[in-house]
Copies of this chain bind each other. A is one copy, B any other.
Amino acid sequence: MESLKKKIRQDAIIRDGNIIQVDNFLNHQLDITLLQAIGQEIYTRFHELNINKIVTIEASGIAIAAITAQYFDNIPVVFAKKKALNQDNTCYQANVFSYTKKTSYQATISKRFLNENDRILIVDDFMANGEAMRGLISLVEQANATICGCCSIIEKGFQKGGDLLRSDGYPYQSLAIIDKIDENEVTFR
């Protein structure tokens, strides 16, 4: 997605340790026009799959999912919540290790909002090692719902989460794949 790559080149901040900071347009301050373009792009890629619900995870996935749902005729969005510990059997639960924070949390979705008739598109902001996406996939699979597509906005291609999902046969795509981060430059695949 060229407009997204352009935005990353112009506005992302590169930090030590292969960290790319996009909090000025994607996950702290939100560029709504860019989110609309992202939503349209996701619709173009996945609209033929009879998707009836979008699943994401708090917090950064929510704006992407809500804006995107508009292009899919306002289908509902369900966002997984992050909990330190949850013994609640009314929820699907998946353990997720956060690479950034070096801790684990439970991603949970109420059983009322996912069922075996659902045809799901999963969206999230970042793909690195794939922990959050794997957690979301697990929640959808626990409900015996169909995973029609998985889409992240920015994929760090030099980490292996995205490629492993593809080789495992999941219908995974991303809108921009970064293969290398140098001091002042981002190289896309």
Contact = CB atoms under 8 A, between A and B. Distances in A.
Contacts of A67: 66-67, 70
A31 B75 CA distance: 8
A63 B36 contact: no
A184 B185 CA distance: 59
Contact of A28 (B59, B63, B70, B78): B78
Contact of A59 (B70, B74, B79): B79
Interface string A2-33: 00000000000000000000011000111111
A57 B29 CA distance: 11
Contacts of A70: 32, 36, 67
Q: Contact size class for A?
A: 20 to 34
A90 to B, nearest CB: 11
A59 B77 CA distance: 13
B81 A28 contact: yes
Interface string A107-118: 001101100000
Contact of A35 (B32, B66, B75): B66
A76 interface: yes
Interface string A36-71: 100000000000000000000011001101110110
A66 B113 contact: no
Interface of A: 23-24, 28-33, 35-36, 58-59, 62-63, 65-67, 69-70, 74-79, 81, 109-110, 112-113
Given A28-B113, A30-B69, A58-B58, 5 more contacts: A24-B113, A28-B109, A29-B76, A30-B66, A30-B76
Closest A-B pairs by Cβ, 8 of them: A58-B59, A63-B66, A32-B74, A30-B77, A62-B62, A59-B59, A29-B113, A32-B69
